[in-house]
Amino acid sequence: MKRRTWILGSAGVITTAFAKADQTMIQEMGIDFKWGVANAAFQVEGAANEGGRSMTIWDDFTKNSSNIKDGSNAQVATDFYHKYTEDVKLASSLGFKQFRFSISWARLMQPGMKELNTEGVAFYHNLIETIINEGMQPWVTLYHWDLPSELQKFGGWSNRKIIDYFEIYVENCVQLFGSNVKKWFIANEPAAFVSLGYLSGYHAPGKKSPFGFLRAVHYVLLSVAAACRKIKSHQPDAMVGMAYSCSPVEGAEIKDFLAAKRIDVLLNRLFVEPHLGLGYPFEDLPALKRLEQYIEPGDMDSIKCTFDFVGIQYYFRVVVKKSRLIPFFGGREIPASKRGVIMNSMGREIYPKGLLDCLKRFHEYGFKDLVVSENGVCFRDELVDGKVNDEKRIGFFKNHLEVLRSAKQQGIPVSGYFVWSLTDNFEWSEGFSERFGLVYVDYSTQKRILKDSAKWWQSALKGG
């Protein structure tokens, strides 16, 4: 196992012309290739005050409407709590055989976080049974950013006590649902929820503390490894993995290389390499050395963990320019809007080749089974005469699936692809202003309407 110290990406550009991606290309990926859709509890469930659910850090964060682009909240979201049967049937009707969702820690456990909430248990049992009855396989994410408020009272992920609480929660999940769930993502995008939540404050819990961030890094890594061991102790045949965000990082010029390398540590290496036994990449981001004060004897052995699969979540690449004004990193991102590239509605570059770069990197780390656990694009979709023409999203998928096929042809062990997302939903600090779904949601009525991209997937997967 070798440490990766180079920077992802190249000067190559994927043509903007739509690559051919139809039923034939889907079939070329193989009969065992897993095609799925994904969502996350806080973004879709709603029912914030129903079924015994307690408060989360995102409920607290959205109380201040200025934290959210459109001032909205997810008290109702897309009402998945009540409409899950409809949504699962929609996914099945489109031809998907894998359904990824997350369990809300605050819904499953009572406020003290040590006893079960029976209504929450019943909801997830029913959801899992519905998925299976529709001929799909459930993939469960144990933590997708919605930490219970009760645990944030003592610092959340920045307090070492979180490890024990997370073990209790994970043990309950595997004991309750392990007979029907064989695929577990322990956590979703730790680089995102730790840096955005504890360093920049852009996401819940809205903290801006370099030392809180460093503590959270270490305790999340320890929690994940502990959870992996806990699952395997109760369910030896379970397939356990992580969902990592991945963004190719490039310097705008040769002189920007070192700044790009430091930012690459934060975005792509920090939460992967310690699990592989490579330790923290202190040499490439010296500011991390302050983390050593939180490392206790035995921690670096406890952090080591072997995953059965790894999820790659790819949306955009990052181009960096050095800047002495930026502490720790010495560089800043150059917005896509200033680079003359094709963008989504959040101003992020659409760069299909980056998916191949990410898959290559994780393959070279030595992981034997990779899935693209999230890939999708946001546009400002409009409902016109009862229809949503999202031709640009179809183009996005065609281009990315062409890259996916290339990865498989090159021998990269990629075995699945999950669309983000099945329906439009609450997009964290962007609120409802951004739409990623294959299915349009009229938030005033909760009516579901298939976009043209959903119909394209249906044709590609089902052949008609």
Is the residue at 291 inside a domain?
A: yes
Which of the four pLDDT bands, split at 50, 70 and 90, describes residue 8? very low
The whole-number pLDDT of residue 264 equals 98
Rounded to whole angstroms, the Cα distance separating 256 from 245 reads 23
Q: Is residue 441, in this structure, part of any structural domain at all?
A: yes
The catalytically annotated residue of 150, 250, 273, 374 is: 374
pLDDT of residue 6: 41
Cβ contacts of 365 within 8 Å, gap of 6 or more:
1, 4, 272, 276
pLDDT for the residue numbered 464: 58
Instruction: Give the span between the Cα atoms of 396 and 452, in whole angstroms.
Output: 13
Give the pLDDT confidence score for residue 144 in this predicted structure.
99
283 is catalytic: no
| Residue 16 predicted with pLDDT over 90 | no
Any domain includes 192: yes
Report residue 105 as tokens.
């820690």
CA distances from 382 to 386, 387, 433, 434, 452 (A): 10, 8, 12, 11, 12
For residues 395-410, average pLDDT: 96
Q: For 319-356, b where at least 16 C-beta lie within 10 A, e where not — what string?
A: bbbbeeebeebbbebbebeeeebebbbbebbbbbbbbb
Q: Measuring CA to CA, how many Å separate 137 from each of 97, 190, 204, 290?
A: 6, 24, 31, 43
Question: And the tokens for 325?
Answer: 């004004």
Please compute the mean of the pLDDT values over residues 90-101 and round it to a whole number. 98
Instruction: Say which of 189, 273, 333, 434 is annotated catalytic.
Output: 189
The arithmetic mean of pLDDT across residues 165-173, rounded, is 98
Give yes or no: 374 in active site.
yes
Query: What tokens appear for 358 in the block?
Result: 């990410």
| pLDDT score at 275 | 98
- Per-residue pLDDT tens for 314-355? 999 999 999 999 999 999 999 999 999 999 999 999 999 999
C-beta of residue 364 within 8 angstroms of C-beta of residue 412: no
User: To the nearest whole number, what is the mean pLDDT of the chain?
Assistant: 95
Tell me the pLDDT tens digit for each residue of 23-47.
888 999 999 999 999 999 999 999 9
Does residue 261 lie in a domain region? yes
Tens of pLDDT, residue by residue over 235-268, are 999 999 999 999 999 999 999 999 999 999 999 9
Residue 254 confidence (pLDDT): 97
What are the tens digits of pLDDT across the range 276-315?
999 999 999 999 999 999 999 999 999 999 999 999 999 9
Tokens of 461: 């997967």
Q: Which helix (H) or strand (E) holds 145?
A: none
Return the pLDDT at 17. Answer: 37
Query: Identity (one letter) of the amino acid at 319?
Result: V
Indicate whether 260 belongs to any domain: yes
Q: What is the mean pLDDT of residues 111-134?
A: 97
Number of structural domains in the chain: 1
Tell me how far apart the alpha carbons of residues 208 and 327 are, in angstroms, rounded to a whole number: 14
Asked if the structure places residue 4 within a domain, the reply is: no
Average pLDDT over residues 374-379: 98
Exposure of 238 by Cβ count < 10 A (0-12 exposed, 13-18 middle, 19+ buried)? middle
Parent domain of 109: 23-462
**Would you say residue 11 lies in a domain?**
no
pLDDT of residue 12: 36
pLDDT at residue 3, as a whole number: 53
Contact 76, 118 (CB under 8 A): no
In this structure, the number of other CB atoms found within 10 A of the CB of residue 176 comes to: 18
CATH of the domain at 213: 3.20.20.80
**Residue-level pLDDT at 10:** 38
Residue 34, both tokens: 């897993």
State the DSSP H helix or E strand holding residue 350, giving kind and residue range, or none if neither.
none
Is residue 147 included in any domain, yes or no?
A: yes
